[in-house]
Structures are given as C-alpha cells and as structure tokens.
Amino acid sequence: MPTPLDELIRQAAARLPAPTRNATTRARRAALAALDGGSRRPRSGGRVSLLAAAAVLLAAGAAAGFLLAPSGRTARGAPVLPAGPGFVPANGWNTIATARPRVAVAVAANVDLLDAAVPLLWPQRTLERLPSDGIVLVATLRPKDELRLLEARPSLPLDLRDATMATVRGLTRYSMRGARAGYDIDVDVYFAEPPSAPLLAEAQAELGRLAVPPITIFARPSIVPSPISPQFEPVLLGGSIASRGTPETVTVQANECTFPGWRDIVSETTDDGEWRARVPVATKSAFRAKWKTAVSATVTVQTRPGVNLEQLGRRTWSIRVLAQRSFLDRRARLQRFDVRTGRWKTVKLVRLTEKQRTRGVGVWTYGTARALVRSGSQLRAYVPRQIVGPCYLAGYSIIITAR
C-alpha cells in the first residue's frame, strides 16, 4: 500500500531538471556517429568517454555485419537471391535487400547505391545525387494487413502504367501497391526528371524482377555478443510463408562452422503466416528454413568469443578466452588506450597456455603475463580474428582500469 510520501516521491520525478542544449547537441552528434559506425571518439569530455569510444568501435563491427546482409550486384558475379524478398538485379543494376521482423525493404538502382544499408523511408544519399538517367526502386513489404489497409491489391508483377505519379523533393515518383505471398507491397520508383519511354521500359523490366520467395528468414542479431556479455541471448530467427491462416510447420536447419551439411534443429508452427524460433548460437552458423518443399535463402550469424581480463597483481595479468574450441598456444593481446592518439596500443602478447572445459558452455583457454602499466590506465584484452577465425569474429574484454 503506497504511503503519501511514496506518492510525493513518485510525483517529484516530473520535476527533475532537463539536460542543457549543449549536452543535447553533443550527445545527438555522438549517437548519430555511432549509428554510422564512425570510429571517432565522441567529445563528451568526461570520464566515461573511453567506454563510449569502445561502444563506437563495437558499432562499427555491427555495421560491418549489417553490410553482409543479402545483396546482389551483377558486376561482380552471379545474382544473389536475398534471404527475404528482393530485386534480382538486371545487368548493370545494383540491389540490396533485408528481411526484418514485420518489414522487409528492397532497393534496386541503375546507379551506384550510395546508402550503406537498406533505408526504410528514403535512400537519401542515392536519391540526392541521382543523375538525369538514374532510376531507383524502393519496395517495402509488410505482412498482409499489417497496416490495416483493407484494400484490394493487384498481384505481382506490378505495372508502371497503374502507378500514381507525384513530384517529391524535385524527383518524379511513381507509386504502386501490390500483394504477393502474404505481403502487402509498396513500391516507389524514382526518376531524376519526368522519364523518357526507354527509361520507363528499363524501370518496368527491373520492377518485374521483384522476387518474393514462398518462405523467408531473418536472424536477429546477425552478430552475437560474447557468451559472457550481459547482452548475450539466443538468436531470434523468423520469417514469413506464403500462406496465412492455417498453421503450418516450418523446420529450421543449421550449418555450423566446420560442421559438414545441414541438420534440423527446431520445428515451429506458423501463426498467421509468421514463424519465430529462438536458438542458441555458439559459433558462426548458417540458417535456413523449410516449408513443405520450399527452402528459404540462407542467413549467417557470426559470433564473438568471450574474453575476460583480470589484474591479478600489480604487474600480473590474466586473459581468458571462452569459445566452443580451445585456442591453446595462440596469443591474445593486452592493450592500453592511448589518450594522446586515441588508439589502442598492444602492451603485451599473452600466450594462452592452459585450457579448461566448462560443461555446456565451451572451453576456457587462458594465460597470464607480467606487464608494468601505469596505474589508472584503461586496459582491455583483445583476440584478433586471425587467431580465432574462421568460426569467430575478433573478441574484446570489457575495459578495466589498472590499479
């Protein structure tokens, strides 16, 4: 039973002071830089800025993982079908696509795609620099009736002659709506200026290459934090099938790093055409989903080893690495953050000389070393990809302060 004092305290939360405009501007800049995967340290001017820099570095890793998302490019080989819906690129076209919970976006362009990842709303950089003969197609796909727009939609392929035309930010936009395989599909086709007949024909041809496979798959996250990270949790796999209503069985298959072939790992029943499964991932793995005879494309989930750094004595350091396999005789790095240069410097290579299997978790490989580091220095342990690959990405410990 809350007392009057309890209530007074709760209400006082509304009277907390607000952040200053300077702090807000600074934080906004830093947060958006992290989104870009920038490696510059945000200028917070405070004690926690070292950790912020590490967060930015982690962000860069995450962004790199995102760029591994399915994409196709005819210039560098055969087209690659995306794990979800996407455009199959015609000769000279670039495409990128992603499948995510409740929404999938696919982009195709006859110019270089300047946006690093699939934009949801507006491929800004590409469109801002669209040349007069440029074409950009943006398809957004959501599970049918997600937007509660109870309207009749034509099936694929869509036809530009049915499109609504508008001028948006100086560009000519053709908008169409369609449906296929349990998705409501919105496609916008952008031209730099009112298109000529040949440009319209080229756009129509690519529009016809929008493929919606009968079963899709996504994985979240695509890079799993180390098993000793507080953020570690099973990966969420999911997708859609081209049948809503009646529950259907979807089987998820995995192909783990260095393990030959695919094996069934879990079967899930669909709910209104959507399926979800949580699976623990301990090493780099590829996943695909099967529904009847249809097989989805493949998504790959990458992992990091767990890395722990401990100061045992004034000059003694212990580094432990947790993974599914041992890294005996490999060399981890003890690194110090150099405030002057803003970079991590290796202080000592630490040979991992012992191992201990932990039931159900993996193997700890560990080693100790002596190194004199000035008290107050920020330190981390780092195992580069070269020594833990190909089944793991590089691993980092949390940052500790030397005593």
Partner 1 sequence: MSRDAFSALGRRQLDVTLGGLDDLTLVEGARAGSREAAGELFRRHWEPVWKAAYALVGRRALADDIAQEALVRAFGALEQFDATRPLGPWLKRIAVNRAIDELRSERRLRLVEPTESDQAAERREPDDAIVAAVRGLDVGKRLVVVMHFWLGYTVTEVADALAVPAGTVASRLSRALAQLRADLEVERADSA
Minimum CB distance to partner 1 smaller for 36 or for 264: 36
Closest approach of Cβ 123 to partner 1, in Å?
A: 9
Nearest CA among 52, 69, 165 for reference residue 117: 69
Quick one: which of 74, 222, 318, 377 contacts partner 1 (CB under 8 A)? 222
Site for partner 1 in 32-91 (CB under 8 A): 32-37, 42, 44-49, 51-52, 55-56, 58-60, 62, 65-66
DSSP letter at 208?
A: T
Q: How far is CA 96 from CA 83, 99, 240, 324, 347, in A?
A: 11, 11, 19, 33, 41
Site for partner 1 in 250-309 (CB under 8 A): none
Minimum CB distance to partner 1 smaller for 45 or for 260: 45
Quick one: which of 99, 105, 108, 373 contacts partner 1 (CB under 8 A)? 105
Phi and psi at residue 394, to the nearest 5° = -60, 150
Minimum CB distance to partner 1 smaller for 262 or for 382: 382
Q: How far apart are CA 288 and CA 283, in angstroms?
A: 16
Minimum CB distance to partner 1 smaller for 239 or for 367: 239
Number of residues near partner 1 (by CB under 8 A): 71
Nearest CA among 206, 336, 252 for reference residue 83: 252
**Cβ contact 232:209 at 8 Å:** no
Site for partner 1 in 224-243 (CB under 8 A): 225, 230-231, 233, 236
**Cβ contact 215:240 at 8 Å:** yes
Q: How far apart are CA 341 and CA 334, in angstroms?
A: 17
Quick one: which of 40, 129, 220, 385 contacts partner 1 (CB under 8 A)? 220
Strand 94-100 and strand 103-109: the pairing is antiparallel
Closest approach of Cβ 46 to partner 1, in Å?
A: 4
Q: Can the peptide bond before residue 157 be classed as cis, meaning omega within 30 degrees of 0?
A: yes
Closest approach of Cβ 390 to partner 1, in Å?
A: 21
Minimum CB distance to partner 1 smaller for 78 or for 121: 121
| Residue 26 in tokens | 């600074």
Minimum CB distance to partner 1 smaller for 33 or for 371: 33
List of E strands, 144-262: 164-168, 171-180, 183-191, 210-211, 218-220, 223-224, 235-240, 249-256
Quick one: which of 81, 115, 324, 328 contacts partner 1 (CB under 8 A)? 115
Site for partner 1 in 5-24 (CB under 8 A): 5-6, 8-10, 12-13, 15-20, 23-24
Hey, is 307 helix, strand or coil? strand
Does 147 bind partner 1 (CB under 8 A)? Our answer is: no
| Residue 369 in tokens | 């070393």
Q: Which stretch binds partner 1 (CB under 8 A): 120-128, 252-260, 338-346, 351-359?
A: 120-128
Minimum CB distance to partner 1 smaller for 148 or for 359: 148
Q: How far apart are CA 292 and CA 250, in angstroms?
A: 8
Q: How far is CA 62 from CA 211, 224, 285, 286, 364, in A?
A: 27, 10, 17, 17, 25
Closest approach of Cβ 275 to partner 1, in Å?
A: 14
Site for partner 1 in 313-352 (CB under 8 A): none
Does 399 bind partner 1 (CB under 8 A)? Our answer is: no
**Cβ contact 56:49 at 8 Å:** no
Does 1 bind partner 1 (CB under 8 A)? Our answer is: no
Closest approach of Cβ 290 to partner 1, in Å?
A: 24
Q: Which stretch binds partner 1 (CB under 8 A): 99-107, 201-209, 281-289, 379-387?
A: 99-107
Site for partner 1 in 168-187 (CB under 8 A): 169-170
Closest approach of Cβ 23 to partner 1, in Å?
A: 4
